[in-house]
Amino acid sequence: MDNAMHELNALCAGCLDCELGKTRTKLVFGVGNASSPVMLIGEGPGEQEDLQGIPFVGRAGQLLDDMLKMIDLDRSRVYIANVVKCRPPKNRDPLPEEKAACEKWLRRQMEIVDPRIIICLGRIAATSIIDESFRITRQHGQWFDADGRRCLAIYHPSALLRDVTKRPETFTDLREIRSEIRRLCPEVYE
């Protein structure tokens, strides 16, 4: 499992299939347990991630770690990746052609991890994974099926930093995630 992921990472490291490859400092491939039944998918690297080459290491990442802790998880119990592996300039949303160019890497990561549960962090991941017309304000916290996997989206940690009024709903969503992981993948909590 981990070998396949390392090989994929090495292949991806040379990718120049979209413009983002030209401006990245480091590629941000993924982190965590590649054999976990739970996968988290974010949007794309920010400034700190671009510098360090690791997903979710900036302020949003600290909040994500706190959110995982709230439901008795940490990075070693899940696998974390992004829709795009290189930082969009000034943290703008990735363009359709950038998401399309990067999709093959995320799809291969999903094949290797083969998660039973996918948690989309924010709208960009939810529209890529669950449904292109996904509405995060209306549909966060609901379970969907995508290729036989249980998928749920929550607000992106950056959105929760900007707007603290979204936090109580997210806490409810996190509890829902914990109970579904306990039901479908109890080994995550062993």
Positions that interact with ligand URA (CB under 6 A): 28, 42-46, 49, 55-56, 60-61, 82, 121
Backbone angles phi, psi at 121, to 5 degrees: -100, 95
Q: Measured from the CB of residue 187, what is the shortest distance to ligand URA in angstroms? A: 26
Minimal distance, residue 55 CB to ligand URA, in Å: 4
Rounded CA-CA distance 169/174 in Å is 9
CB 77 within 8 A of CB 117: no
Tallying the residues shown for the chain, one arrives at 190
Name the residue nearer to ligand URA (CB basis): 77 or 87.
87
Closest separation between CB of residue 100 and ligand URA, Å? 18
Give the nearest distance from C-beta 18 to ligand URA in angstroms: 17
Q: Which is nearer to ligand URA, 28 or 186 (CB)?
A: 28
**Best CA proximity match to 121, nearest among 81, 165, 164:** 81
Q: Measure the CA–CA gap between 129 and 161, rounded to whole angstroms.
A: 23
Q: Which residue's Cβ has the minimum distance to ligand URA?
A: 42
Nearest residue (CB) to ligand URA, 43 versus 185: 43
For residues 63 and 112, which CB has a smaller minimum distance to ligand URA in the complex? 63
φ and ψ at residue 9, rounded to 5 degrees = -60, -45
